[in-house]
Structures are given as C-alpha cells and as structure tokens.
Amino acid sequence: MTDRPLLDVENLTVRFAVRRGGVFGRKQFLDAVDGVSFALARGETLAIVGESGSGKTTTALAVARLVAAHSGRVELDGADILGLEGEALRQVRRKVQFIFQDPYSSLNPRQRAEDVVREPLLSLTDMPRDEQQKVIDELFVQVGLRPEQKRLFPHQFSGGQRQRIGIARALATRPELIICDEPVSALDVAVQAQILNLLRRLQKEFGLTYLFISHDLGVVQHMCDSIAVMYMGRIVEHGPRLSLFNNPLHPYTAALLSAVPSVDKARRAATRRILIPGDPPDPVNLPPGCRFANRCPVAQPQCREAEPELRTVAGGQRVACHLVKEDGTAPL
C-alpha cells in the first residue's frame, strides 16, 4: 500500500497552432492548457469546472492521450505515459477510459449495443470470444440494461440508455481511471439522477477513479471529492469539496458559485451576486499579469504586471491570486 496518487499531472501544456486571417494569416499559438498540475488519489473523484473554452476537455483529452501534449508529465500509477507507444500505450488505454457528453453522436449508429461494448475488448485486449461475451453480459446487468437489448442499435435507445451503453463500453476493459466529460448534461434531470446514481454505485463497486467535467456545480458538489477550477487554460483554484464550496478563495470561483441559481431560500438570502462583466482576453494575445484581471472586481495595479502563481495557502487549498492571504483569507 502506498499513498502515491493514481494520476499525477505536472505542468501539462497543450498547444494548438491557429491561423488568424485565413490560410495566409500569421501562424500563432494557443495554449489551451497552460502549465496545469494536479494529483488524483485512487478511488476518488476530481471535478474540473470553468467556463466554456477554459481547457477542461483539452486537459482530459491530453491525460487520456487523445490529444498530444506540448510539454509536462502525466503519471499513471507512477509511470509517465506521455512518451509511450505501441503495446505500452495500449495498456494505458485499457486503464484509462472516456465517457462523452453526447450519447447521440458518441456511439456508432451501425453497431449493435453489444458490439459497441465489445469494441474496446477487441482493440485493447486479447480476450477470447466466449469470455468477451461473458464480460458483456455482466456489464449489461451492471449498468441496468436488459439482456435482450444487446442486439439493438443505438437509435433504438433513449438518451439515458445510450449513456448506459457508453458507460458499459468504458467499463469493459476494467479501467482504473474513467474520464467523464459532461456525462449528464445532455440528459433530462430525472434521467440525469439515474445516471449519477449509477456512476457512484460503480465507483464503489469497482474502486474507480473519476476525472469528472461538468458545468453544473450542483452535480459537481454531489459527485466529487475535490475540485479544480480552470480559467483560460490554467487552474486558478483547487481544493477539497467542502472548503471550495463553503469558502471559495479565488475571485473567479466566488463569482462562479454566486451565479448558481438555487432552490434553497437560505442560500439565496445568503448569496451576494458577484458580477464579472465582459469577456476573457484573446487567448493568443494574452495581456501580462493575471488573466482574470479585466473582469475581476478586486483587481489591483499589481495584478496587471505579474501573473499569480498557484500556491498552497493555510487550509490546504491551492489558489492563484495575488490578493489571497497566506492564512487563507479571500479578497472577496
């Protein structure tokens, strides 16, 4: 038994080349993920939140080796996986699986449900056919699908059932880490609850580790043990669930939480809405200093000069803001 994290990401950067002004435009670079570091313990769930375009999906894709990293390390169980090729990469793919947002487009419409689930067994394992069938049969039961549904095609399923197929496919190779990118946001609330309960049950049963991306903060607080908040390719705050929700330190986190409409009267009464008007700066032409400065309600002149480092403050939260004090007092 070690307390080594299952996933350890260090200084991960993903760079895309973009052209401005058509094919003849100048080639520029966009760091969709820019020096991101976090660790995730086995059996736990880390949520990544942040606005659209902040780099959540790109981070996840890089961790799963589905997009190339520009620099940094991604350690799975102590071994860096970024340089792996061939059989070694195939082994990693067995251990890291993905559940996508859109249960409609992420399944091959011409494959029967059982063949969708079989696919990773074929491409990533050497499992004999009869054993494959046994695994598939078990998975159908585990995700709450009926045996006779194995022969149906994706369009014959509802959205929630399609997401169950996607979950069964992700479980097929007995992975250790499952990346869930907005797994329920295309679903109606009632079906969403069914899928969230299923994901939690499976996590307990198989000791799964989740990297969980969602824009729904209610869902996030229900599912995760800790949360990383991203803004423009960087983690601006990272902490355990209760500290981050009950005591957000970074002004962006505070604004984000204050924007969530709530059915709870007490919460509505206690929440002071923090407005962050405007848009984030152009990601290929970043201004100096803090990337949030042009929208931050408490920005100081120093914020526009030096970029704040992600540092650990009292209480254990990590935060990248000049104005958060060492003792963990928030500026807002």
Partner 1 sequence: MTEALLKVENLRIELTTRAGVAPVIDNLSFELGHGENISFVGESGCGKSMTALAIMGLLPEGVGRVASGRILFEGEDLTAASDSRLRDIRGNEISMIFQEPMTSLNPVYTVGEQIAEVLRAHQGLSARAARDMAADLLDAVRIPNARARAGDYPFQMSGGQRQRVMIAMALACRPKILIADEPTTALDVTVQAQIFDLLRDLRRDTGTSIILITHDMGAVAEMAERMIVMYAGRNAEIGPVEQIIDHPRHPYTKGLISCVPHIMATLTEDRPDLTEVPGIVPGLREFGQDRCLFASRCAYRTEQCLRQRPPAMAFDNGQLADCWHAETL
Ligand X SMILES: Nc1ncnc2c1ncn2[C@@H]1O[C@H](COP(=O)(O)OP(=O)(O)OP(=O)(O)O)[C@@H](O)[C@H]1O
From 121, 186, 244, 321, residue interacting with ligand SF4 (rule: CB under 6 A): 321
Pick 135 or 320: Cβ nearer ligand X: 320
The partner in contact with residue 55, picked from partner 1, ligand SF4, ligand X, none with C-beta cut-offs of 5 to 8 angstroms by kind, is ligand X
Question: How many residues bind ligand SF4, per CB under 6 A?
Answer: 14
The single-letter code of the amino acid at 252 is Y
Residue 52 sits in the site that holds ligand X (CB under 6 A): yes
Q: What is residue 196's three-state secondary structure?
A: helix
Q: Which two tokens stand for residue 222?
A: 């229900």
- What's the min distance (Å) between Cβ of 57 and Mg ion? 3
CA–CA distance, 295 with 170 (Å, rounded to integer): 39
57 contacts Mg ion (rule: CB under 5 A): yes
Pick one of ligand X, Mg ion, ligand SF4, none as the site partner of residue 32 (Cβ within 5 to 8 A by kind).
Answer: ligand X
Alpha helices in 29-98 (DSSP H): 56-63, 86-95
Is residue 58 a contact point for Mg ion (CB under 5 A)? no
Residues within the interface to partner 1 (CB under 8 A) = 51-52, 158, 160, 188-194, 196-197, 200, 215, 217-219, 221-223, 241-242, 245-246, 255-268, 270, 273, 275-279
Write down the least CB distance from residue 101 to ligand X, Å: 8
Q: Which of residues 231-290 bind Mg ion (CB under 5 A)?
A: none
User: Mind spelling out the 3-state secondary structure of 198-231?
Assistant: HHHHHHHHHCCEEEEECCCHHHHHHHCCEEEEEE
228 contacts 48 by C-beta, under 8 angstroms: yes
Cβ atoms 73, 13 nearer than 8 A: no
Structure tokens at 306: 């030096």
| Span 268-297, contacts to ligand SF4 by CB under 6 A | 290, 292-293, 296
Q: Which stretch binds ligand X (CB under 6 A): 48-56, 77-85, 151-159, 272-280?
A: 48-56
Site residues for ligand X, 209-248, by CB under 6 A, read 215
Among 45, 58, 214, 317, binds ligand X (CB under 6 A): 58
Q: Which does 296 bind (CB under 5 to 8 A by kind): partner 1, ligand X, ligand SF4, none?
A: ligand SF4
Q: Which residue, chain included where needed, has tokens 């999906």?
A: 57
Q: How far apart are CA 156 and CA 205, in angstroms?
A: 29
283 binds, among Mg ion, partner 1, ligand X, none (CB under 5 to 8 A by kind): ligand X
Residue with tokens 């169980």, as numbered in its chain: 77
Q: Map residue 150 onto helix, strand or coil.
A: helix
**The two three-digit tokens of residue 283, written as one number:** 């990601």
To partner 1, the closest distance from the beta carbon of 247 in angstroms equals 11
In this complex, which beta carbon is closest to Mg ion, that of residue 57 or of residue 173? 57
46 to 160, 241, 245, 262, 306: CA distances (angstroms) = 23, 9, 14, 23, 29
Residue 151: exposure state from Cβ atoms within 10 A (0-12, 13-18, ≥19): exposed
Q: Which is nearer to ligand X, 55 or 72 (CB)?
A: 55
**Which residues make up the interface to ligand X (CB under 6 A)?**
16, 18, 30, 32, 50, 52-58, 215, 283
